Amino acid sequence: MFHRTIRQPRRDALKLEDFADKEPKFILEEFFSGTLRGYGMTIGRLGGFQNRFTIDARGRFDASANVLSLTEDYFFDDGHSDTLTWTILKRSENRYEGRETLIDGTAEGEQSGCAFRWQYSRDVPDADGSKTRFGFDDWFILHDECHMSVHASLTKLGVEVAKLEAFYERVG
């Protein structure tokens, strides 16, 4: 007997304009100024668990230069770690440009309402010391002045290979 597989319609991608009227407004340099703690996990392309991690982050905004300096230390459950040291320029009220040592070019960010979208390519260190280049499409969603969730898609050669789910809490 012939069985036909019906493909489910693809869920629409997130759009910044969908968040335009959502409060509280996400101001990158305000949320990331100070000390933060984060927790998350990576989910494989086919849905399987890959790893868990914690994040210690600290940031400082220089209003005269419109620059956020942000350091994020990631600690993975397999024992390896990764540090991202960002220099993020606020280009306009809702647009940002970031640099980091292992990024290819610059990261581009845009804010709307309670959401912030951050896109870049980065050489990510593996537990064995090697590096793999991934494209990142990060969505930060501010829930209140102290809590934010992150939903990210990781791609390799344009194909999604993993999803990352995390949350941050301001602790100081």
What is the mean pLDDT of the segment spanning 134-157?
97
In this structure, the strands spanning 81-90 and 67-76 are: antiparallel
Per residue in 84-115, pLDDT tens?
999 999 999 999 999 999 999 999 999 999 99
Instruction: Characterize 28-66 residue by residue with b for buried, 16 or more Cβ atoms within 10 angstroms of its Cβ, and e for exposed.
Output: bbbbbbeebebebebeeeeeeebbebebebbbebeeeee
Under the banding of pLDDT at 50, 70 and 90, the label for residue 11 is very low
What is the mean pLDDT of the segment spanning 49-59?
97
Determine phi and psi for 24, rounding to 5 degrees: -75, 155
Determine phi and psi for 135, rounding to 5 degrees: -90, 140
pLDDT at 129 over 60: yes
Measured between alpha carbons, how far is residue 139 from residues 2, 114, 153 in Å? 42, 10, 9
C-alpha to C-alpha distance for 25 and 118, rounded to whole angstroms: 16
- The tokens 């969908």 sit on which residue? 18
Under the banding of pLDDT at 50, 70 and 90, the label for residue 12 is low
Q: Which residue ranges form the domains of the chain, and what is each CATH number?
A: 19-170 (2.40.128.20)
- Tell me if the pTM is above 0.85: yes
Cα distance from N-terminal residue to C-terminal residue, the chain: 64
Under the banding of pLDDT at 50, 70 and 90, the label for residue 30 is very high
Contacts with 11 (C-beta within 8 Å, 6 or more apart), sequence order: none
